[in-house]
Amino acid sequence: MPRANRHYVPGYTRHITHRCHQKEFLLKFEKDRERYLWWLFEAKKRFDLCILNYTVTSNHVHILVVDAGDRAIPRSMQLIAGRSGQEYNARKNRKGAFWEDRYHAAAVQTSAHLMRCMLYIDFNMVRAGIVRHPSLWPCCGYHEIVDPPRRDMP
């Protein structure tokens, strides 16, 4: 059966989820999660991807982004998923799919829905029983939201 077409409307916020192949814990080591984040922020630079929040768990990822147009989301996800999977497979001498399927991108409404989505992403590892507070999970956007990195002001 053919895949459904994806329609991207610029300006919408999207909650992206992507699961590892057969729900395996392919991102269980911090170095693998950090490489995923490296590629996420590389996509931010290359394609002007607007990242609002994220969390990288042991077997899936959540990313909250704004589609500013110019197909930033699909181009970014192709880069991130492709490179992180290739690096993992090369390092582990592994063959086959790294990701279970294509990523899922759900449109997020503004205001209350957006806030619930932000909290859902931040508290993902808390609900899983891995940590007691989002601040204890290193691979999430909580830290940047609470203590934004300083930028040089002109």
| 68 located within any domain | yes
**Stretch 103-110: mean pLDDT, rounded?**
89
CATH number of the domain within which 107 lies: 3.30.70.1290
* Residue 4 domain-assigned (yes or no): no
pLDDT score at 75? 93
Single-letter amino acid, residue 142: Y
Distance CA 135, CA 42 (A): 24
Do the domain assignments include residue 1? Answer: no
For residue 107, being part of any structural domain is answered with yes
- For residue 110, name the pLDDT band (cuts at 50, 70, 90): confident
Distances in Å between the Cα of 43 and the Cα atoms of 79, 98, 128, 139, 149 are 7, 19, 28, 17, 18
Total tally of structural domains belonging to the chain: 1
Query: For 58, which DSSP code?
Result: S
Token code pair at residue 49: 């991807």
Is 6 within the bounds of a domain?
Answer: no
> Is residue 105 pLDDT above 80, yes or no?
yes
At residue 147 the predicted structure's pLDDT band, cuts being 50, 70 and 90, is confident
3-state SS string for 61-75: EEEEEECCCCCHHHH
In a domain, 104, yes or no: yes
Which residue range(s) make up the domain with 81?
Answer: 13-146
In angstroms, the CA 150 to CA 129 distance is 32
Whether 71 maps to a domain, the answer reads: yes
